[in-house]
Structure 1
Amino acid sequence: MAACPDQEARLDSHAAGALDASETAPLLRHLESCAGCREAFAASVEILSLMTLPAPTTAEKLAQEAVPERALDTWKRERTSQALRRRTVGSLVAAAAAVAVMVLVPGLPRPLAPSTPPEPKDAPVVEELAVEARTLADFEAWAGLEPLESGGELEDEEALDDVAGWDEEDPLGEML
């Protein structure tokens, strides 16, 4: 006798232990009433029992137990290499940004190439005197004063007398 065509797939699944509980109850009721399906189910169980794997050896058991540990080690190595790559890329991006800022922003000091040629040693002293003279002239022009003469004597002796007469407690006197 042959099995019912609509039940063949369920019979094989049930023999393999892969059938849902909700489908098992109706199949068992059908097996009670159908002799062809019972024979097909018995044949499937017999064939599947011949295909069972032997028990794993000790080496296979150890290998299976080591799988989680090896997987964890592999995962850690990958994470470490990813972090190293991220740090390396981040460092390279930071260095590129620093170079870009130095190249693109004018007025920043350039550590590798001096912007002006070195001056002789006496030049700073001469330059400082020229700056002082210009500053003094600019101040005199701003204040509306006549230029001071260097080494000259004071012409207003009365001004010195006024200063000598200032009171110690009120050095500005009545000027204010």
Structure 2
Amino acid sequence: MAACPDQEERLDLHAAGALEDAEAVALMAHLESCEGCRRAFDASVELLALVALPPITAQEKSELEELPRRTLSEWRRSARKQGLGLRTLGGLVAAAAAVTLVLLVPGTWRFPGEARTAQPTAGAQPVEELDAETMAAIEAWAGLEPLDAMEDSDRWDEDFDFELGETL
């Protein structure tokens, strides 16, 4: 005798433990009166017992209990490593910005001992380089000797050759 066609699906679900309580009670009442459904139910239980997983061992149980702690510690380790990488990247970006600023913006860097030149104000016109001819004309107008004549260092030494303790 075969199982009732309208009960076959419910028999498999009940064998797997997936039926709700009200349906399970109604199916158990049907199983008491139907021999074919009882045999189909027993076959389903036997088949599911073959594919069921064995009970977990003590080692597996301890590993399952340890899993949340290990997962959390691994997550913290990776977050720490990622944070370190981001801090390193931030430091490199800051260093690159400083180097770029030094190289691209004139007047921000000077060597030790180098005199700092006055920076033009916001509204000031840029000063153009004067050529030698214009500079000579300005010196002649001001009654100055050309600067080339001042480069003679021997003359300077003669003009200011005096002993220590003498006054001018």
TM-score by length of 2: 0.52
| 2:163 corresponding residue in structure 1 | none
| 2:12 corresponding residue in structure 1 | 12
Matches within 5 A, 1:1-150: 1-21=1-21, 24=24, 27-28=27-28, 31=31, 34-110=34-110
Q: 1:5 to 1:103 in 2, by over 3 A?
A: farther
CA contact (8 A) 1:4 1:37 kept: yes
Report percent identity of matched pairs. Answer: 56
Alignment-mate amino acid for residue 89 of structure 2: V
Tell me the alpha carbon deviations over residues 56-98 of structure 1, each in whole angstroms, 9 at most, x when there is no partner. 3332222222222221221111111111111111111111222
Alignment-mate amino acid for residue 81 of structure 2: S
Residue 40 of structure 2 aligns to a residue whose secondary structure is helix
Supply the distance in 1 between the matched residues of 2:115 and 2:19 (Cα, whole angstroms): 84
Q: 1:98 to 1:41 in 2, by over 3 A?
A: same
> Tell me, which stretches of 5 or more residues in structure 2 are unaligned?
117-168
Q: 1:84 to 1:48 in 2, by over 3 A?
A: same
Shift of 1:24: 4.0
Supply the distance in 1 between the matched residues of 2:104 and 2:10 (Cα, whole angstroms): 75
Q: 1:109 to 1:30 in 2, by over 3 A?
A: same
Residue 70 of structure 1 aligns to a residue whose secondary structure is helix
> Tell me, which stretches of 5 or more residues in structure 1 are unaligned?
117-176
Supply the distance in 1 between the matched residues of 2:21 and 2:33 (Cα, whole angstroms): 19
Q: Any runs of at least 4 consecutive aligned residues in structure 1 with deviations exceeding 6 A, and if so which?
A: none
Higher Rg: 1
C-alpha root-mean-square deviation of aligned residues, in Å?
3.2
Q: 1:73 to 1:111 in 2, by over 3 A?
A: farther
